[in-house]
């Protein structure tokens, strides 16, 4: 049972009560520390909060943290430590999974750095102009399917997706540069830029869903739950 | 002297044991120098035999000969029913578990007990060879094995007096045997075609970390099917044989000849077959053989593509392909794999021995407490809960690295709803009823609120052993309820594959149904919210023309909901969203002003 250290000071080691600040391992007793106390996936992997991250660096961090926390390495230890190891490893896996895909990472970043902390998972609606574009593309693709077949339509669509992704990546790079130059908190970044990126991410999502649709695959998109 | 940890490949058809000695891998042979041990157990009045001697009694009516017991491991009786027609020995249901009657000793044997007999034989072999007692072992299982099957394998080891230190995935073991992990990084495919099963896995190896990225396969495809294809070819060539082939012994004889011919053709272009007792003479060329097995080779490609897609890995990203399993000796297979990947083929280690050799390497690592290698595993099937309209909402997709945790916020569908039912599901299909039900529980005591206002957080946690813990918490009241899904509820390996296969066969129809259900559900929510808003707001906020326009669109949406076209429902829903958007913005501004202490608005 995880009856917990609810009021424990997270800057102190759960075991020896020495100061650990934000390190993964207590410097005095060498016990692993719960990383759930860290604010976000970037810091869990020890990475700067940035939109672009080199894949090699990401993987290296993931492996480094896995080596520290994986339950296989904490087999013989007491249950409290095993539980921390389990939760930490799960968080590390989750963080890696979210940050690995640049578009998922961008969406996560926008949520994380939103100036007014909006409820997560808030629905972004596509601007009428982009929505129109999607509709038109969809119609023209249906045309292509009819006349030239599915393969052709899919290759057309994948060109559109690549173009959209290229734009997104460019905007991500520009935003990273801007926040580095200003040496200021990213929350200052103009709302326009954030909105634009959000819109483009949403636009890409629509394209991907058309693609799944064309391939006859399932749509893992948002579902209303009860 | 450090303790000796042996590596064991407990196979469907053959098993073997290996060990590291002075940095060299040794596959331990029996007294006659044979490295393999057929995974066959014979029960007779004279006693219990395992291996070659057991296999030799396959046609003896006085003996119960048990083979392919691995297919029954860690499953319920219901799970193995489809398997039974392929087995010539009786399997009975005892407390819903598949049990093999031992009529000579008036008892039943479980699949792990059969496994234990095979493992015991291997243990004896190792003790004789090493001249010391052997207790610690690493045993391999297919990457696809669920936790119940892994647990059953562990149990078998324990019954054989072994201390099973680790269960290792077969593809991972194969990579270890090739020395990957120390210095050799990259993405490797493991193509494992055994006697009766096909497994394909993608492994990523970086600085000592082995990650199974995806795995897929076919549980009833292997070298035995190749032999059968040859026999079928002979029967069509000489129809006179067909009658004789009704008899089991004749079929068996033909299969053995077919197997011999197949093996011979790996080294020569043509082989003569002669069975005087049947008056049968024929010539088989490699070309004909290739032609015969081509459809079977093609069948291996679909799991290959699926795993690649799951892992998001393209052919170009694969650095090499490791061949495992005796059937990969067939030259045509090497050719087909080369054609597909265009990458180096690793086939220098005997494909029958490579898995056991890798297990021995893992044993060696464990004995030295080496921490430079870490094996990261994935969950083989998607996990989720049932949501409105009987659809499955996935929280953890298949091939997610474990341990893992997923949280999602759910809400109520009805005004005043005070309980929600959480139905935990495993599988790849869209609709809840087509997937395996793992557990059900209810969360009660939710504060009655308007539909969609409650916030219920559902958390899934899978530990390193694949055991799932599900918890639901009402964010407002703090009420919580949960369940631990033990591995025994999990699915059989065949089920895993059938479910995945099913999801492809039905993908299209599932998709349409789900789209419609989801679209209707979403539409209903938007309609309810809009209706409530219109009731609440007076003409000062919603001028009559705007109200009329909104109501008009609500009517259109309701009409579309009566139809069967989910896309149409979606379009009408987003149109309703659009016509109400200006209103929503105005309301937002009002409430912001209100909050800032500006002029208050009547409500």
Q: Answer yes or no: do B511 and A224 touch at CB < 8 A.
A: no
CA distance B557 to B548: 14
Query: Are A83 and A153 within one domain?
Result: no
Active site residue B347: no
Q: Within a domain: residue A29?
A: no
Q: Name, in order, each residue with C-beta under 8 angstroms of B165's C-beta and a sequence gap of 6 or more.
A: B5, B136, B137, B138, B363, B366
- For chain A, what is the mean pLDDT? 82
pLDDT, one tens digit per residue, over A191-202 is 788 889 999 999
What's the confidence (pLDDT) of residue B599? 42
pLDDT tens digits along B366-408: 675 556 777 777 776 789 999 988 999 999 987 788 889 899 9
Q: Are residues A95 and A139 in the same domain?
A: no
Please tell me if residue A223 touches chain B, with a CB cutoff of 8 Å.
Answer: yes
For the segment A141-180, what is each residue's pLDDT rounded down to a tens digit?
988 888 888 888 989 999 999 999 999 999 999 988 888 7
> Does residue A153 share a domain with residue A80?
no
A134 and A203 in contact (C-beta within 8 Å)? Answer: yes
Q: Please say if the pLDDT value at position A65 is more than 80.
A: yes
| pLDDT at res. B437 | 77
Helix, strand or coil for residue B466?
coil
Give yes or no for B457 touching A (CB within 8 A). Answer: no
Locate A122 and state its tokens: 């808030």
A112 occurs within a structural domain: no
Same domain, yes or no, for A203 and A142? yes
* DSSP E strands, B314-453: 320-324, 345-346, 374-379, 383-387, 391-396, 400-402, 404-410, 420-426, 436-443
For B:422-441, CB contacts with A below 8 A are 430
Evaluate whether residue A77 is within a structural domain. yes
Q: For residue A76, what pLDDT is reported?
A: 61
Contact B331, B286 (CB under 8 A): yes
B343 annotated active-site:
no
Strand B400-402 to B391-396 pairing:
unpaired
pLDDT value, residue B330: 92
Q: Judge whether A208 lies within some domain.
A: yes
Q: Are B392 and B435 in contact (CB under 8 A)?
A: yes
Q: How far is B86 from chain A (nearest CA, A)?
A: 34
Residues A208 and A149 in one domain: yes
Q: Please tell me whether residues A95 and A133 are part of one structural domain.
A: no
Task: Assess if residue A71 is contained within a domain.
Answer: yes
CB-CB under 8 Å, B393 with A225:
yes
Q: ipTM higher than 0.90?
A: no
Q: Is residue A113 part of a domain?
A: no
User: Based on the domain organization, do A87 and A137 belong to the same domain?
Assistant: no
Half-sphere exposure of A177 (CA within 13 A, CB side): 6
Structure tokens of B117? Answer: 């007999």
Comparing A28-42, A103-117, A205-219, B45-59, the range with the smallest average pLDDT is: A205-219
pLDDT value of position B293: 94
Is residue A62 very low, low, confident or very high in pLDDT (cuts 50, 70, 90)? very high
Q: Are residues A95 and A132 in the same domain?
A: no
The domain of A196 spans 128-215
Cβ contacts of B510 on chain A, cutoff 8 Å: 218
Q: What is the CA radius of gyration of chain B?
A: 30
| Start-end of H helices in B321-410 | 331-341, 354-367
E-strand ranges in B182-278 read: 186-193, 198-206, 209-218, 270-275
* pLDDT single digits (tens) B534-544: 888 888 888 89
What is the pTM (predicted TM-score) of this model?
0.62
Q: Structural domain tally of chain A?
A: 2
SS3 B306: helix
Residues A94 and A135 occupy one common structural domain: no
Same domain, A81 and A152: no
For residue B463, give both structure tokens: 């530990």
- CB proximity B397 to A under 8 Å: yes
B504 contact A CB<8A: no
The reported pLDDT for the residue numbered B592 is: 57
Signed CA dihedral, A111, A117, A122, A127: sign only:
negative
Q: Do B403 and A71 touch (CB under 8 A)?
A: yes
**Considering the domain boundaries, does residue A111 fall inside one?**
no
- Residue B532 has a pLDDT of 85
Residues paired with residue B426 on neighbouring β-strands, in sequence order: B383, B436
Active site residue B335: no
Is the pLDDT score of A32 beyond 80? yes
Position A8 in a domain: no
Last residue of a domain, one of A57, A85, A100: A100
Q: What is the CATH number of the domain that holds A46?
A: 1.10.287.110
Question: How confident is the model at residue B491, as a pLDDT?
Answer: 40
Is the same domain home to A59 and A136? Answer: no
pLDDT of A226 strictly over 60: no
Question: Which stretches in chain B have pLDDT values below 50?
Answer: 1, 487-497, 499-500, 598-603
Domains of chain B: 1-178+353-372 (3.30.420.40), 180-348 (3.30.420.40), 380-495 (2.60.34.10), 508-595 (1.20.1270.10)
Residue A206 and residue A134 share a domain: yes
Which residues in chain A have Cβ-Cβ distances shorter than 8 Å to B383?
A: none
């Amino acid at each position: 049972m995880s009856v917990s250290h609810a009021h424990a000071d997270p800057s102190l080691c759960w075991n020896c009560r020495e100061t650990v600040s934000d390190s993964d391992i207590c410097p005095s007793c060498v016990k692993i520390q719960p990383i759930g106390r860290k604010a976000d996936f970037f810091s869990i992997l020890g990475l700067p909060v940035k939109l672009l991250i080199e894949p090699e660096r990401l993987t290296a961090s993931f492996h480094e943290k896995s080596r520290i926390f994986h339950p296989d390495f904490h087999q013989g230890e007491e249950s409290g430590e095993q539980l921390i190891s389990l939760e930490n490893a799960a968080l590390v896996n989750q963080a890696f999974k979210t940050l690995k895909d640049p578009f998922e990472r961008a969406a996560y970043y926008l949520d994380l750095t939103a100036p007014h902390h909006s409820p997560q998972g808030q629905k972004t609606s596509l601007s009428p102009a982009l929505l129109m574009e999607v509709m038109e593309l969809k119609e023209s693709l249906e045309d292509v399917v009819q006349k030239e077949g599915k393969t052709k339509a899919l290759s057309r669509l994948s060109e559109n997706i690549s173009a959209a992704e290229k734009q997104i990546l460019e905007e991500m790079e520009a935003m990273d540069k801007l926040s580095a130059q200003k040496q200021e908190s990213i929350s200052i970044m103009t709302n326009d830029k954030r909105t634009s990126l959000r819109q483009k991410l949403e636009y890409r999502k629509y394209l991907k869903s058309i693609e799944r649709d064309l391939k006859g695959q399932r749509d893992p998109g948002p579902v209303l739950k009860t | 002297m450090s303790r000796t940890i042996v590596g064991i490949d407990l196979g469907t058809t053959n098993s073997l044991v290996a060990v590291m000695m002075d940095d060299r891998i040794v596959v331990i042979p029996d007294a006659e120098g044979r490295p393999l041990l057929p995974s066959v157990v014979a029960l007779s009045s004279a006693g219990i035999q395992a291996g070659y001697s057991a296999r030799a009694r396959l046609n003896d009516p006085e003996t119960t000969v048990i083979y392919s017991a691995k297919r029954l491991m860690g499953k319920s009786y219901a799970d193995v029913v489809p398997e039974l027609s392929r087995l010539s020995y009786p399997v009975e249901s005892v407390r819903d578990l598949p049990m093999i009657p031992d009529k000579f000793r008036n008892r039943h044997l479980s699949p792990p007990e059969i496994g234990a007999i095979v493992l015991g034989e291997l243990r004896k072999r190792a003790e004789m060879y090493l001249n010391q007692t052997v207790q610690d072992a690493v045993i391999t299982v297919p990457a696809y094995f669920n936790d119940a099957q892994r647990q059953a394998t562990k149990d078998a080891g324990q019954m054989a007096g072994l201390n099973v230190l680790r269960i290792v995935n077969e593809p991972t073991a194969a990579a270890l045997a090739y020395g990957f992990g120390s210095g050799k990084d990259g993405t490797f495919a493991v193509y494992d075609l055994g006697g009766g099963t096909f497994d394909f896995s993608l492994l990523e190896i970086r600085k000592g970390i082995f990650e199974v990225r995806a795995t897929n396969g076919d549980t009833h495809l292997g070298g035995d099917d190749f032999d059968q294809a040859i026999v079928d070819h002979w029967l069509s060539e000489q129809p006179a044989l067909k009658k004789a082939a009704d008899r089991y012994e004749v079929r068996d004889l033909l299969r053995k000849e077919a197997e011999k011919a197949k093996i011979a053709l790996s080294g020569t272009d043509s082989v003569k077959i002669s069975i005087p007792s049947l008056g049968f003479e024929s010539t088989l060329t490699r070309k004909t053989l290739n032609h015969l097995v081509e459809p079977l080779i093609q069948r291996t490609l679909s799991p290959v593509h699926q795993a690649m897609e799951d892992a998001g890995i393209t052919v170009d990203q694969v650095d090499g392909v490791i061949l495992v399993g005796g059937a990969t000796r067939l030259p045509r297979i090497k050719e087909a794999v080369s054609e597909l990947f265009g990458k180096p083929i690793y086939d220098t280690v005997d494909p029958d021995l490579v898995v056991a050799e890798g297990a021995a390497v893992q044993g060696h690592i464990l004995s030295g407490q080496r921490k430079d290698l870490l094996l990261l595993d994935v969950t083989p099937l998607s996990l989720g809960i049932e949501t409105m309209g009987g659809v499955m909402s996935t929280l953890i997709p298949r091939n997610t690295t474990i341990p893992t945790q997923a949280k999602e916020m759910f809400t109520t569908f009805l005004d005043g709803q005070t309980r929600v039912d959480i139905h935990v599901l495993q599988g790849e299909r869209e609709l809840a009823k087509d997937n395996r039900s793992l557990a059900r529980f209810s969360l009660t005591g939710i504060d009655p609120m308007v539909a969609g206002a409650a916030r219920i957080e559902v958390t899934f946690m899978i530990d390193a052993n694949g055991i799932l813990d599900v918890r639901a918490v009402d964010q407002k009241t703090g009420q919580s309820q949960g369940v631990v899904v033990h591995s025994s509820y999990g699915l059989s390996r065949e089920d895993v594959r059938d479910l995945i296969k099913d999801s492809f066969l039905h993908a299209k129809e599932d998709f349409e149904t789900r789209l419609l259900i989801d679209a209707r559900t979403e539409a209903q929510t938007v309609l309810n919210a809009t209706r409530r808003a219109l009731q609440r707001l007076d003409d000062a906020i919603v001028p009559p023309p705007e109200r009329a326009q909104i109501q008009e669109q609500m009517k259109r949406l309701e009409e579309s909901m009566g139809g069967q076209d989910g896309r149409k429902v979606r379009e009408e829903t987003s149109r309703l969203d659009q016509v109400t958007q200006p209103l929503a913005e105005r309301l937002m501004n009002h409430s912001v002003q209100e909050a800032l202490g500006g002029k208050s608005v009547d409500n």
